């Protein structure tokens, strides 16, 4: 996982990944940068997004139901009512951070657990449709039992189970004839 320059940017991009394709996510991010970014080139600040109404966000970004969540989130960060640095504190238990993220409008379990992974916290699995499909390609079995099967397979890794899952599912991205590291 790669980090953006700010946790705010990571959170917005994560919000944009929910219930859509990667191409749709990229389109929403591109349109947001064009609409509110500094000169159309840099990711916009919470303040720049907070100035836009949910209706404008919905229409210009074509982000659907995410517009309301994005607007609320940007306003909370901009006003200081939400201090994202609390999510980055290593001394805070991951479960507490997960609950704080889930408390934000529009951020469900996948988004909360995905953000935790970006923060270097791997206690959760961040299950989404891609993970489930990829897992079933590697380990065929009944679709209805996929989440339980994933949880059982990676439980032995304890607080690192999310990382173990991610590394196994993306292993083919790094295999091949090319030597990637010594």
Q: What is the pLDDT of residues 11-51, one digit of tens each?
A: 999 999 999 988 999 999 999 999 999 877 799 999 999 99
d(CA 156, CA 169): 17
d(CA 14, CA 28): 11
The first and second tokens of residue 121, run together, are 């916290």
DSSP 67: H
Lowest mean pLDDT, pick from 66-75, 113-122, 165-174: 165-174
Q: What's the whole-model pTM score?
A: 0.89
Residues near 78 by beta carbon (within 8 Å), at least 6 away in sequence: 45, 46, 47, 49, 50
Q: What is the pLDDT of residues 93-102, one digit of tens each?
A: 999 999 999 9
Instruction: Give the domain ranges of the chain.
Output: 7-118, 129-174
CATH topology of domain 7-118: Endonuclease III; domain 1 (1.10.340)
Is the pLDDT reported for residue 179 higher than 90? Answer: no
What are the backbone angles phi and psi of residue 21, rounded to the nearest 5°?
A: -80, 165
pLDDT above 70 coverage of the chain, percent:
95
What are the backbone angles phi and psi of residue 176, rounded to the nearest 5°?
A: 145, -170
Residue tagged 């304890």 (tokens): 158
Is the pLDDT reported for residue 88 higher than 80? Answer: yes
Is the pLDDT reported for residue 60 higher than 60? Answer: yes
What are the backbone angles phi and psi of residue 134, rounded to the nearest 5°?
A: -65, -40
């Amino acid at each position: 996982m790669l980090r953006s320059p700010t946790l705010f940017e990571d959170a917005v991009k994560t919000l944009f990944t929910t219930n859509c394709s990667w191409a749709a996510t990229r389109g929403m991010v591109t349109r947001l940068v064009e609409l509110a970014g500094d000169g159309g080139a840099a990711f916009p600040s919470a303040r720049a997004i907070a100035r836009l109404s949910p209706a404008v966000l919905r229409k210009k970004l074509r982000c659907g139901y995410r517009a309301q969540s994005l607007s609320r989130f940007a306003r909370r960060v901009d006003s200081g009512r939400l201090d994202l640095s609390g999510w980055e504190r290593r001394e805070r238990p991951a479960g507490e951070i997960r609950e704080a993220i889930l408390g934000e409008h529009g951020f469900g379990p996948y988004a909360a657990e995905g953000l935790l992974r970006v923060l270097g916290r791997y206690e959760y699995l961040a299950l989404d449709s891609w993970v489930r499909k990829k897992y079933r390609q590697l380990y065929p079995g009944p679709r209805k039992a996929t989440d339980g099967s994933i949880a059982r397979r990676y439980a032995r890794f304890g607080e690192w189970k999310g990382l173990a899952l991610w590394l196994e599912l993306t292993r083919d991205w790094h295999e091949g004839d090319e030597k990637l590291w010594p």
